[in-house]
Chain A
Amino acid sequence: MKYAAKRLATLLVTMLLVSLLAFLAFELISGDPAEIMLGTQATPECLAALRAEMGLDQPLMVRCLQWLMGFFSGDLGTSYHYKQPVWELIAPKMAVTLCLSAISFLLIIVVSIPLGLLSAGRSGGRGEGLRTAVNQLCMAVPAFFTGMLLSWVFGVALKWFTAGRFPDLREDFWGAVQYLFFAAVAIAIPRIAMTVRMLRSTVNSEMGKDYVRTAISRGNDRGAVLRRHVLKNAVVPVVAFLAQTLAEILAAGVVVEQVFAIPGLGRLLVASISNRDYPVVQVIVVLLAFWVVLAGTLADLIQQRIDPRLRLGGSL
């Protein structure tokens, strides 16, 4: 419990730091928002009026505090480009991206864990070269390229979904899930290859340890040793890897959402970067960072539940 409390405190501090950093970075580098909104032709009076309206005449610290409070009150400023409150713009897209990430993550777990365990303990032999080649090839194909092919095959040729027409999540949930599924496959393939490779090497290095040799020499079945003893020890690094995967899914999603024309956070992020719509970029970046930090914390907590050594503050 003490560990969990400490970890949560670190989480909160990290989140605060990340938001501060994001605020300052965009504040210092992005230039004067009033000028961006009105263009270079604006008269000084107009600029001054807009600055006052947006609260830009306040000192930096005050604005920073206001911005941070915005995460609790839902007032995160107004988009330069869409002239809409940022929160209204982001909220529906967040749900879509969450769904996409969840489906991708499920796919990765469901496919890669059995595959990884199956291929572990079977090193060497004739299949080895082929397996390595397939594994490396899966990692080499960019997710957006797989996405293009999938959306063409299933959207254009087979018409299993209508590419470019994303059903509303609330109205047609299963339709939306079906649409997202193909995007999730594109995101998942390279990550599955990486997870399988990681699982394989973790399990294999664990299988070479003394306790496994002892267990087998005492007449235990290889499979039973794998299930009962090795898995428990191999799972700790895998949890950390999967947390990193959660973050990577998000990154791949940014591009794949574009391929499938999915109205998610990633697509909004890219559009906002192109439009130099800083209030939106700022908030999305902070939200993505929260997600990454949260996944890391969750992994730490799970790991210390599994491995008592970590609970005592030791390290592996």
Chain B
Amino acid sequence: MKKKRNGCLTAGLILTGFMVALILVGFFWTPYDPTAMATGPKLDGPSLAHLLGTDGFGRDIFSRVLQGAGNTLTIALATVTMGAVCGVAVGALTGYFGGIVDEALMRLNDALTAFPSILMALVIISLLGPGKKYNVVLALGIAFIPSYARIARTAFASLREVNYVKSAQLMGVSPWRILWVHILPNTMPVLLPALTIGFNNAVLAEASMSYLSIGVTPPDASLGYMLSEAQGMLSAAPWYAAGAGGAIILLVFGVGLIGEGLQRRDRGVV
């Protein structure tokens, strides 16, 4: 059978690859120093010298967007890693072993997942103290654990009954090896799209919190905080909002397409 082209996945991978490459370059080199003032005329429109124009202090917006997007990317990756590792660990253990602990934890989890993760993160950040980069990661990471735990639990619980797992059990394979080698790889069709959705939620949540100035705050650069600055000068410098907003949109759009593509590949519809 001829393999059909998965347009979603390809487009998503290309777009995300492009964005990540730009951001990686931004870690080492930006056209101007992101914090240097008066690199050109103030509130200057996009030009070859300043790809996305300059802001009210004459800072180069393209360099600032690169730096902000770098922060957003690191925070989102750290958050998803934290939420997914803890969540999948909890979900795997409770789903595979079952029992009373499973029942109790899942009841608690039902209540937690009903609560939108950004609200949860706001609550946690108000306890940890607002306006610090690591607290944002911690707050969002904790807020994401319940949803991953739930997804992983369902996947592990259903695979527990499968024949190859049962035969492995009969052969005396240790539970850890079964979880790690036999079940985990087979949960990927469910987990991978969940990771892309989680990444997007993390990007949007971080941007929202920084926009509200309780997430990442200066001197750390962040796209959300830049947008709150840009709002005041939307008439004078629309390119500021377009640059910062566009970076968020492209990042989320690309990863969203990857997620959609992965789900379709899994379902066999392309």
Q: Are A137 and B227 in contact (CB under 8 A)?
A: no
> Which B residues are CB-close (under 8 A) to A123?
269
Distance of B223 from chain A, by nearest CB (Å): 9
Q: Given A148-B241, A152-B234, A270-B212, decide whether A254 and B119 contact each other with a Cβ distance below 8 A.
A: yes
CB-based A-B contact count at 8 angstroms: 111
Q: Is the interface of A mostly helix, strand, loop or mixed?
A: helix
Q: Are B260 and A136 in contact (CB under 8 A)?
A: yes
Q: How far is the CA of A211 from the CA of B259 in the complex (A)?
A: 31
> Which B residues are CB-close (under 8 A) to A132?
8, 257, 260
Q: For window 182-216 of chain B, which residues contact chain A by CB distance below 8 Å? A: 200, 204, 207-208, 211-214
Q: Is the interface of B mostly helix, strand, loop or mixed?
A: helix
Q: How far is the CA of A293 from the CA of B131 in the complex (A)?
A: 29
Q: Are B130 and A273 in contact (CB under 8 A)?
A: yes
- Judged by a CB distance under 8 angstroms, whether A109 is at the interface is no
Q: How far is the CA of A258 from the CA of B212 in the complex (A)?
A: 7
Distance of A28 from chain B, by nearest CB (Å): 9
One digit per residue, 1 when the CB lies within 8 angstroms of any chain B CB and 0 when it does not, for chain A 105-137 equals 000000000000000000100000100110011
> Which B residues are CB-close (under 8 A) to A258?
211-212
- Judged by a CB distance under 8 angstroms, whether A302 is at the interface is no
Which 7 pairs from chain A and chain B are nearest by CB? A251-B116, A140-B252, A140-B253, A273-B126, A136-B256, A145-B245, A255-B208
Q: List 27 A-B contacts (CB under 8 A).
A: A17-B111, A25-B123, A133-B257, A136-B256, A140-B249, A140-B250, A142-B245, A142-B252, A144-B208, A145-B227, A148-B230, A148-B234, A148-B241, A149-B241, A156-B234, A156-B235, A247-B115, A247-B116, A251-B117, A254-B122, A254-B208, A254-B212, A273-B125, A273-B130, A281-B126, A293-B114, A296-B114
Binding site for A on B (CB under 8 A): 7-8, 11, 111, 114-119, 122-123, 125-127, 130-131, 200, 204, 207-208, 211-214, 227, 230-231, 234-235, 241, 245, 248-250, 252-253, 256-257, 260, 269
Binding site for B on A (CB under 8 A): 14, 17-18, 25-26, 29-30, 123, 129, 132-133, 136-137, 139-142, 144-145, 148-149, 152, 156, 244, 247-248, 250-251, 254-255, 258-259, 269-270, 272-274, 276, 278, 281, 285, 288-289, 292-293, 296
